[in-house]
Amino acid sequence: MRSQGPCLFICVRRELTDRGFQVAWEPTFPVPCPMMSRSSCLSRQPGAEDGGHGDGALLDTASLKMSDLDAELVPLPPRYRFRDLLLGDQSFQNDDRVQVEFYVNENTFKERLKLFFIKNQRSSLRIRLFNFSLKLLTCLLYIVRVLLDDPALGIGCWGCPKQNYTFNESSSEINWAPILWVERKTALWAIQVIVAIISFLETMLLIYLSYKGNIWEQIFRVAFILEMINTLPFIITIFWPPLRNLFIPVFLNCWLAKHALENMINDFHRAILRTQSAMFNQVLILFCTLLCLVFTGTCGIQHLERAGDNLSLLTSFYFCIVTFSTVGYGDVTPKIWPSQLLVVIMICVALVVLPLQFEELVYLWMERQKSGGNYSRHRAQTEKHVILCVSSLKIDLLMDFLNEFYAHPRLQDYYVVILCPTEMDIQVRRVLQIPLWSQRVIYLQGSALKDQDLMRAKMDNGEACFILSSRNEVDRTAADHQTILRAWAVKDFAPNCPLYVQILKPENKFHVKFAEHVVCEEECKYAMLALSCICPATPTLITLLVHTSRGQEGQDSPEQWQRMYGRCSGNEVYHIRMGDSKFFREYEGKSFTYAAFHAHKKYGVCLIGLKREENKSILLNPGPRHILAASDTCFYINITKEENSAFIFKQEEKQKKKGSAGQGLYEGSSRLPVHSIIASMGTVAMDLQNTECRPAQSGGGSGGSKLALPTENGSGSRRPSIAPVLEVADSSTLLPCDLLSDQSEDEMTPSDEEGLSVAEYVKGYPPNSPYIGSSPTLCHLLPVKAPFCCLRLDKGCKHNSYEDAKAYGFKNKLIIVSAETAGNGLYNFIVPLRAYYRPRRELNPIVLLLDNKPDHHFLEAICCFPMVYYMEGSVDNLDSLLQCGIIYADNLVVVDKESTMSAEEDYMADAKTIVSVQTMFRLFPSLSITTELTHPSNMRFMQFRAKDSYSLALSRLEKRERENGSNLAFMFRLPFAAGRVFSISMLDTLLYQSFVKDYMIPITRLLLGLDTTPGSGYLCAMKITEDDLWIRTYGRLFQKLCSSSAEIPIGIYRTECHVFSSEVSVSMGDREDAREAKGPWGSRAGTGGGGSTHGRHAVGGDSAEPPLLRRKSLPWARRLSRKGARHTGKAAAEWISQQRLSLYQRSERQELSELVKNRMKHLGLPTTGYDEMNDHQNTLSYVLINPPPDTRLEPNDIVYLIRSDPLAHVASSSRSRKSSCGNKLASCSPETRDETQF
């Protein structure tokens, strides 16, 4: 047996000096030598023929030179050389070095036996398996002996004459002979003796090996006593033959077999390095205990009844089962008192042992219910599953994940394993008991930092692992640190498992950059809120795009806007290879803009971007110079993906052509065809018209095709027609670089109003990034960094004496951001608003209203941006709002505060924010306020109206949509539809969708301006004015933008007039019709969408053509919010109360106005800027993503555009730029803005 301890070799060199022998110990480098015997160690001696180092592992460092190492190779050790195997190692006698071996473990015979029988897992497992087999064999031999033994044939010792015995029920005396003696065949006796000898020797050997000084502890063990009872008598019968027929209770070996089985299971789990299941062990113990009790009782009663009724083995088994099951038929009973005493003992033992084991089993079952048990390896190998790792699981987070994950058809067969360190919440437990989720969701209580828990979740077999941060923590940095450790632990345990990680703080993102997909919450949040100041309702637009929706929400509503809004919300981003697509295959070799327009016209899909096969970067609207190839991957917005669409082609009758020369495409006043989209069973059937593209006629002079002015839009004059979209780009008609040319003109000839202030800005990359991992973005910068003292808005310094926003004289409206601290994520709010593609004359001043003073690092990062200021104050303080210039602001962004996360009730975390915003909503009704909330369910309290029947009707609609299984039940809430409220938890679906659509995160980051890829476009907006209504429809607008400026529209932000209950009297229908005929819309100005850079635009009241929505919304609101018949007297009284309420509200607004003015006078601020505007609450706004081409345009519509990259074609000459500007629009004003004017 070889020792397991490592050996340490020490070279001993004998040096002969004039004083005699002196032994010098020179240790060389240690060579690990596990499992090596002493003889093998001593045989490894260097030889003289090897130059003193024949071993190759032991070198004399004193005499070895570097030249020797370079000159010759190190030879093999002696045991690997064929010469030494034949002749032996002859170099030992010629070497003067001595090898000394030290053993860590005692290398004795007893230790080696202990290693084999006890310590070694695999060998001890074999020993216990052999022991278990022996015990089972003895029990089987006992049954064979019982079946072969018949007391009626005679009873007596071995070699003695046999005596017959007959039981007499009337006699009270017991004949003990049938109990003491049995009939045992010689062959059977020989086998039992051999087995007994082996068991006895094994037991004694184990006693010897496990002896630790107390022999009595070993002797009085129950297992040792039973072993002696069942083995020693057999050994004695070898030397005393008459005792060979002596009864020996061999059936008691079943308890030893049970004990051996328990130890064998433990060794088995240790040998295969798996965590044993306590539940499995307890069930096994309980089953074995029951089996041993029944077997012991059966054999004991059968043997004792040999002196009674002589029951068979089967009859005794029947009696034990009936007795232990408490049935007790009474047909079989023991006749003599020893057997009766045994029954009493067995029942007492069962009453004591079984309840204890049942109690342990129930306890383990309850603990397993809490911890969730294990995910079986067999299921992991045959089924697919994903793992969700969270710090604490809330019901909202769980339902968002499950609804979004299982919304995709190909994920229906996946299992979701939740790994959470906390105990399952009551609401979560209730949800997971629903059959829909109980068969697909498995909850495991454990930590991702423990390999045992990761093994329970079968992380190495998982298809993906989602690691979510706890955003409800007060310290979000600590929450990120926990997420990072979880990601590291999962990557270390299962390096092939794809990771989907959610990070809160942007400075922690680079720690998990190895993950396949990472979503930084603060990056997306601030970029989205910043973009909402330029493109209104951007949070709503992105949320609808990243949510999986059926597109059936609101289809049963009588409200037209709800039906259209709900249908368009079903549009999502999909991808397909162009060569395999029916949508885009016919446009191979054509320009991107040409394919986008004609695909939208023919199929109703919106092509937004693509990805080259050789390039991994996604390009949004690469422009008309980009020629499509069959290998390109196209990204498009549609109600469903192409694979789930059925195409039904219809041939439309061709109109007769006027003239015999060419064929005109855009003749007459024909409208675009209506594309009917019918969603049913996950398949969309589209009726497609004949939309063959024909070359346009060349007009004289202008060189572009003309569109005849529709008769309903004018008298006899003609306006410029819409030019066709060219198949291949023409450099003379492209305008992707208009923005640069306009800006260059602004740089060369600044206006008199702006003077030198505009010319001072330069374009470049920000020199200081506040965190690692931020994407570089070309921005408008100051030529010289501003001093930190100049960044303070409300305090003057030696460079300027301005102390309020009025003194600065800003040309554009302010954008105010209210946040608790100046975190690194706030940097992403500034960058999109200062990007190079934003016109410099439209840059809005940014004021950061911070509760805490920003640190030096943050000021260093923002001091290079123009018109960025900060001020210490709170959003719930009126003085702070007035000092930061809220009366000169167009947008106010209220960011959720981390300190509110510690609310005792989770949903109360937004209480302070909601009340503060409601106050500002009352004080400054014309201000566009965008608010971030922690919980999406709290958005119903934004801009709350206590007596608004329409809001009550929307609440009921939301409940009905939730019952119908909608994932976006809150979408009809007016604040969300208008983009005035946002919750970052809505973007959790972005990470979930990445499992199916791995391109969603890059596309979202490109849309938000977080990433800038060369050649990729950006999101912007344009406003539709009265002069632009000659375009008429969204499809014609699509053509106009594609042909003139190569811009791709993706949706509309629409604002409509609406009358809420505070302005409507609930009276009879004829009275309402009379009021409608009077046209009250002309006396009250409507407001545009919140969040636009153009403020709120008035909606004119045309009494001749009132909005259609108004006539339908009022009865619908009354029908849903009020039940029962209304009498005339009650209606009149309610009408009077509404009038009084209106007068009260006007007096209340006057009181609030006086309060604001008094505070401004107290602070020394001029009151001229405060405008007492009417309470603009009579409008509703909503987002239409990819509306049908025949959608009519309305005034104040804001169109979302993806504009091509201005720097993609900077090499174009200035001449081509000027010519492109001339062909942009025939009736366009020379002033160019970020919003294209027609």
Q: What is the mean pLDDT of residues 527-546?
A: 92
Confidence label for 679 from pLDDT (cuts 50, 70 and 90) = very low
Provide the percentage of residues in the chain whose pLDDT is more than 70: 69
Model pLDDT for residues 204-259, shown as the tens digit of each residue: 888 888 877 777 877 888 888 999 998 999 999 899 888 888 889 999 999 999 98
How many residues belong to the chain? 1238
Confidence label for 1003 from pLDDT (cuts 50, 70 and 90) = very high
Give the separation between CA 285 and CA 263, rounded to whole angstroms. 11
> Between 358 and 1149, whose confidence is greater?
358
- 660 Cβ contact partners less than 8 Å away, ≥ 6 residues apart: none
Residues 638, 639, 643, CA angle at the centre, nearest 5°?
80
Model pLDDT for residues 623-641, shown as the tens digit of each residue: 888 899 999 999 999 998 8
pLDDT at 720: 56
Question: Quick count: other Cβ atoms within 10 Å of Cβ 570?
Answer: 23
Model pLDDT for residues 268-280, shown as the tens digit of each residue: 766 554 544 667 7
Give the separation between CA 888 and CA 1171, rounded to whole angstroms. 10
Give the separation between CA 972 and CA 562, rounded to whole angstroms. 7
Match 């001072």 to its residue by tokens: 760
Of 465-479, 953-967, 1071-1085, least confident by mean pLDDT is 1071-1085
> Between 581 and 97, whose confidence is greater?
581
pLDDT at 1137 over 70: no
pLDDT at 1194 over 60: yes
* pTM across the whole model: 0.69
Give the separation between CA 917 and CA 894, rounded to whole angstroms. 8
The β-bridge partners of 25 are: 12
Match 């327009």 to its residue by tokens: 597
Among the listed residues 1009, 820, 848, 786, the one whose alpha carbon sits nearest the alpha carbon of residue 912: 820
Confidence label for 103 from pLDDT (cuts 50, 70 and 90) = low
Q: Are 906 and 396 in contact (CB under 8 A)?
A: no
pLDDT at 308 over 50: yes
Of 28-37, 478-487, 1113-1122, 1196-1205, least confident by mean pLDDT is 28-37
The one-letter amino acid code at 672 reads L
The β-bridge partners of 177 are: none
Structure tokens at 1142: 């209106």
Give the separation between CA 737 and CA 556, rounded to whole angstroms. 46
Question: What's the mean per-residue pLDDT of the chain?
Answer: 74
Give the separation between CA 144 and CA 735, rounded to whole angstroms. 100
Confidence label for 840 from pLDDT (cuts 50, 70 and 90) = confident
pLDDT at 500: 95
Model pLDDT for residues 566-575, shown as the tens digit of each residue: 899 989 999 9
Provide the percentage of residues in the chain whose pLDDT is more than 90: 22
The one-letter amino acid code at 37 reads S
**Alpha carbon separation from 635 to 575, 576, 583, 988, 997 (Å, rounded):** 4, 7, 11, 21, 11
pLDDT at 669: 35
Residue 247: phi and psi, rounded to 5, are -70, 130
Of 121-125, 204-208, 248-252, 1143-1147, least confident by mean pLDDT is 1143-1147
Q: Could you tell me the sign of the dihedral formed by the alpha carbons of 622, 625, 627, 631, in that order?
A: negative
Q: What is the mean pLDDT of residues 745-749?
A: 42
Q: What is the mean pLDDT of residues 256-269?
A: 82
- 475 Cβ contact partners less than 8 Å away, ≥ 6 residues apart: 898
Of 112-126, 731-745, 905-919, least confident by mean pLDDT is 731-745
pLDDT at 58 over 80: no
pLDDT at 598: 92
Question: Quick count: other Cβ atoms within 10 Å of Cβ 352?
Answer: 9
Model pLDDT for residues 1062-1080, shown as the tens digit of each residue: 443 333 333 333 333 333 3
pLDDT at 1217: 39
Confidence label for 1209 from pLDDT (cuts 50, 70 and 90) = low
- 721 Cβ contact partners less than 8 Å away, ≥ 6 residues apart: 666, 704, 705, 706, 707, 708
Give the separation between CA 1073 and CA 1077, rounded to whole angstroms. 6
- 1078 Cβ contact partners less than 8 Å away, ≥ 6 residues apart: 1103
pLDDT at 887 over 90: no
Model pLDDT for residues 132-175, shown as the tens digit of each residue: 999 999 999 999 988 888 777 767 777 677 766 666 666 677 77
Q: What is the DSSP letter of 674?
A: P
> Between 586 and 5, whose confidence is greater?
586
pLDDT at 295: 93
Q: Are 205 and 113 in contact (CB under 8 A)?
A: yes
Structure tokens at 1109: 């929505």
pLDDT at 638: 92
> Between 706 and 1166, whose confidence is greater?
1166
Q: What is the mean pLDDT of residues 961-965?
A: 74
